[in-house]
Structure 1
Amino acid sequence: MRYYLNIFLNYIIKLESKIAFYPTIMGLGGVVFAFLMYYIEGLGISSYLTKNTPLLVVKDTETARNVLTTVIAGLISIMVFSFSLVMILLNQASSNFSPRVLPGLISNRRHQIILGIYLSSILYSIFTLIVIQSAGKAYQLPGFSVLLAIVFMTVCLGAFIYFIHSISQAIQVNNIIDKIFSKAINRLENLIEKEENYEIGFPDTSNWQVLKSTKSGYFQNLSLNNLIDLTKQNECRFEITPIKGSYVIKGTPIIKYDKDLDEESRSQIQASFFFSKSELIEDNYALAFKQITEIAIKAMSPGINDPGTAINAIDYLTDLFLLRMNKKDTSYYLNEGQPVINIKTLSFSELLYNVMAALRTYCKHDITMVIKLFIMLRHLLHSDEKYIDSYRDSIIHEINNLHEDAIKNISNKTDLNRIELLYNDLINT
């Protein structure tokens, strides 16, 4: 039962990032509430309110129909306009920043909830309109339900005003970078907090049995609870071979194990791997480095030519690297003090190289960007972070790479002298 519960919860978490998730749930809620009000109307709430508080009840059938028709038409117009704004936002973000930021914008919970408010109000009004009797006494008219539709319309107008404000903020590049940065910080801090304070080795896995993937896609997430349960049941250990965020091709190894496992256990292992065609920072902090780097590169392109944004992006990358230096390159999960699951992670050296290689390629001709990159590497080299000694050689290697590219692509003597001063200061200290 726990196995299926974990799979279900991970599936729900994956669905939550879809733009239609909250609107669908809230739309169904609007339908259910409409039927609930139909039941309450059958108990005579409108006739009771007509006698005691007549101002709260719509008494005329035609007026009720006109009100509901107007509410439905108005809300549909607002919802279409809002969806159009979302599409414009996504298109502009893809063109000006990076297509990789789209999943994060689509999964914006506030926008999803606002669209859900629209949809639930529309469905509620439609079903309320259906139950209005064509003729009859006043108590046959769901007057109180019509009043609630007016209230929901007012709420939707307020939500629309907030939506306009939110969408105008979401399209600003500083807010996009800051949101990516905040998600990565939360993810990294959570991983660092879970790390053990002592070093434990993991046995050699070269001769372990291998389980291959039955599907292709980006390795998005892993149900660790299921794998931990399997290690206890079978008294075995696992090594996860792909790095989270990497693209896994069908038929390639995804896990190694040191003991024979039955078919059911192997099927449960396969079901514990979640693949997707998109990536989320909540599952993989390394994606934040990739996204912020791509935003910086796009800002340096001739079509956009925004070095200020690129410099801001490097500042955020500096903070992320400093935090990453407090995390080990290994990731184990322990059972009774012994490592039972080894998860391969992107090493600091590889992460720094990937970021610097991209930035060097597109920014090596710009003296301001080169100086900013030297300053970033100086902060990393002179930091007092937890694992600075382990990562020092990687930082020095990237300093040398940046220096080599810069002197080959910059010809101005003053700029070259400045580069040499920075380089010598870094290497000799």
Structure 2
Amino acid sequence: MKARLLKRVRQVYSDVINSIAFYPAIIALCFLVLSYVLLYIDFSPLGKAIKSRLDFISLRDASTARTIAATIAAGILSLTVFSFSMVMILLNQAASNMSNRVLDSMIGNRFQQWVLGFYIGTIVYALFLLSTIRDIDTGIMVPALSVYLLILLTILDIFLFIYFLHYVTQSVKYETIIRRIYQKTKYELGRQCQEKGSVLVAPGPSGKVYTVKATESGYFQGFSKQGVVQLCKDRNWLLRFSHATGTFVLQGTSVAEIETLKGLTDEQQEQLHALIDFHDGEPIEKSSFYGFKQLTEVALKALSPGINDPGTAVLSLHALAELLSYRLSHFPVVSFQDSEGVVRVITREHSFQDIFEQTMLPIWDYGHDDRTLRVALQQVLQQLQRQSISPKDTATIRQMLQKVDTAIADNVP
């Protein structure tokens, strides 16, 4: 029960952190604290002294301060609705013309969340300030400092809105979306892969092998590395995962194998399952392979008869070629050691051949009749072949290149 609760807490934490509402909520809370601090200064002896000496920042009429706060709250609320209505329209257009999978990277854009948070924070600030204004006789009791700060925040919101319009119109361009997916995938590849050669797996514990079966159907999304390694160290296990990240696993099928000198209890399996993630979605942060898949889907959608945009398909192809070029000389870490240097966990990763076949072959199957795509594919395959250092990788690329060369030769007048 405790293990399941910890797993649930970990999943909820991940959902909250990656939610579009996380940053806006934090920023709005900061604005609420800011409003409280400014009001405290406004009504403190220091604030009253400042307002009594500087008449130009003192409001004599409480109704004026109330009108300013109410007008700003209503205006920024309308600005927020307009801004993100436009974002939803552009997101719908991108999903229709490219792929639904690209929405995660677009919705998760941090700049959009910061803008939304700043708008909401200004509204929260204005409403909280509005609730504190009272009709009084002396101007030094009107929160003039807070009101003038609200005006400054509103001016900043307007300039932020202007830049936001420019940013959104640029960010929904196909080349921008493709470049963003490429950059996230390249980052994850660099984090998951080593630079020189494949990793040699040192021998770990030996003994009887037990199969760990999936308790639910779903997509294998990785595991808590620190938690699993520590568990294997405590139990003296060698754990071998059966699937690469992103694989759909049916309930009751093998998800991992454990080598141990002792038996494997149900409680121990439950502890292990609590550290393994199964859920839907294709977040690139979980596996760089999802980035390859998204770029492939963008290319296939662009080549569909309804879209018929080979230029976008070529852009996706070039991004895939850059990633495959990086993968040719960088190899994923497949073993994890404990603090004593003993290998405790061995993972299964997508090989270059797997990635190549699941990205390039679908694009070729769908767009082999397009001359633009054939020429672009021929160019990138020739360059990849020159960069390949593994005989298996070279053979895979050469086999594909022969198909492309034959198709181009057959269509020559």
User: Structure 2-normalised TM-score?
Assistant: 0.88
The question of 1:325 aligning with 2:356 is answered no
Amino acid at match of 2:27: M
> SS state of the match for residue 340, structure 1?
strand
Further displaced range: 188-197 or 354-363:
188-197
In the alignment, structure 1 residue 372 sits paired with structure 2 residue 376 = yes
Check whether the contact 2:60–2:138 (CA below 8 A) recurs between aligned residues.
no
Partner Cα separation in structure 2 for residue 149 and residue 403 of structure 1: 66
- How is 1:56-71 mapped onto 2 (pairs within 5 angstroms)? 56-71=57-72
Asked whether the 8 Å contact 1:238–1:341 carries over to 2, the reply is yes
Q: 1:130 to 1:250 in 2, by over 3 A?
A: farther
Q: Following the alignment from structure 1 to structure 2, what is the Cα–Cα distance between the partners of residues 134 and 267?
A: 64
CA distance in 1, matches of 2:72, 2:207: 67
Report how far residue 77 of structure 1 moved: 0.7
Q: Deviations over 1:206-237 (max 9, x none)?
A: 96223333444433342101111112211212
CA distance in 2, matches of 1:278, 1:206: 36
Which string of whole-angstrom CA distances, capped at 9 and with x for unpartnered residues, describes residues 337-374 of structure 1?
A: 44321111112112111112211221111233223222
| C-alpha distance in structure 1 between counterparts of 2:348 and 2:199, whole Å | 18
State the 1:329 CA deviation. 6.4
The 1:316/1:205 distance shift into structure 2, 3 A limit, reads: farther
CA gap of 1:357–1:198, structure 2 versus 1, over 3 A, is closer
Note if 1:74 corresponds to 2:78: no
For 1:111, what is the secondary structure of its paired residue?
helix
Aligned to 2:95: 94
Partner in structure 2 of residue 291 of structure 1: 294
SS at match of 1:274: strand
Deviation, structure 1 residue 163: 1.0
Offset at 1:401? Answer: 5.2
Distance 2:73 2:239 in 1: 56
Check if 1:104 corresponds to 2:105: yes
Q: Which residue of 1 aligns with 2:277?
A: 274
- In structure 1, distance between residues paired with 2:76 and 2:216: 42
Q: C-alpha distance in 1, partners of 2:372/2:326?
A: 25
Pair 391,345 (structure 1): closer, same or farther in 2 beyond 3 Å: same
Q: Which residue of 2 aligns with 1:240?
A: 241
Question: Structure 1 stretch 144-153 or stretch 330-339: which is displaced more?
Answer: 330-339
Higher relative contact order (CA 8 A, sep 6+): 2
Contact 2:334 2:346 in 1 (8 A): yes
Q: Is contact 2:238–2:345 with CA below 8 Å preserved after alignment?
A: yes
Amino acid at match of 2:146: S
Q: What's the counterpart of residue 315 of structure 2?
A: 312
With 75-84 and 5-14 compared, the bigger mean Cα shift is at 5-14
Q: Which moved more, 1:120-129 or 1:27-36?
A: 27-36
CA contact (8 A) 1:7 1:272 kept: no
Between the aligned residues of both structures, percent identity stands at 31
Secondary structure of the residue that 1:131 maps to in structure 2? coil
CA distance in 1, matches of 2:166, 2:325: 34
| Alpha-carbon distance between aligned partners in 2 of 1:202 and 1:173, rounded to the nearest angstrom | 47
Q: Which amino acid aligns with 1:258?
A: E
Query: Which residue of 2 is the match for residue 302 of structure 1?
Result: 305
Question: Deviation at 1:105?
Answer: 0.4
**Is the contact between residue 47 and residue 138 of structure 1 (CA under 8 Å) also seen in structure 2?**
no
Describe how 1:19-418 pairs up with structure 2 within 5 A.
Answer: 19-193=20-194, 199-200=200-201, 208-259=209-260, 260-261=263-264, 265-328=268-331, 331-335=334-338, 336-385=340-389, 388-400=390-402, 402=404, 406=407, 412-414=411-413
- How many angstroms does 1:176 deviate by? 0.8
Q: What is the letter of the counterpart of residue 187 of structure 2?
A: N
Structure 1 residue 198: Cα displacement: 5.2
Give the whole-Å Cα distance in 1 for the aligned partners of 2:214 and 2:58: 62
SS at match of 1:341: strand
Work out the CA distance in 1 between the residues paired with 2:47 and 2:27. Answer: 25
Contact 1:353 1:398 in 2 (8 A): no
Q: CA deviation at 1:78?
A: 0.8
Distance 1:318 1:39, change over 3 A: same
SS in structure 1 at match of 2:219: strand
- Answer whether contact 2:58 2:140 (CA < 8 A) is retained: no
Deviation track 1:18-40 (CA, whole Å, cap 9, x = no partner) reads 21111111112222322333333
Q: Which amino acid aligns with 1:399?
A: L
Contact 1:6 1:225 in 2 (8 A): no
Looking at structure 1, the residues matched to 358 and 94 of structure 2 have their Cα atoms a distance apart, in angstroms, of 23
C-alpha contact (below 8 Å) 2:195/2:329 kept by paired residues: no
Secondary structure, in 3 states, of the residue corresponding to 1:34? Answer: helix
Q: CA deviation at 1:76?
A: 0.2
SS in 2 for 1:325: helix
- Any idea what the Cα deviations from partners look like across 1:316-347, whole Å, max 9, x if unmatched? 21111111112336711123444321111112
Distance 1:396 1:211, change over 3 A: same
8 Å Cα contact 1:46-1:57 kept in structure 2: no
Between stretches 259-268 and 362-371, larger displacement belongs to 259-268
- Amino acid aligned to 2:111: R
Offset, 1:74? 0.8
Distance 1:309 1:384 in 2: 26
RMSD: 3.1
Say how many residue pairs are matched: 408
Whole-angstrom distance in 1 between the partners of 2:211 and 2:46: 66
Name which of structure 1's ranges 257-266 and 13-22 shifts more when overlaid on structure 2.
257-266
Q: Which stretch shifts more, 99-108 or 144-153?
A: 144-153
Q: 2:168 and 2:49 mapped to 1: Cα distance?
A: 43
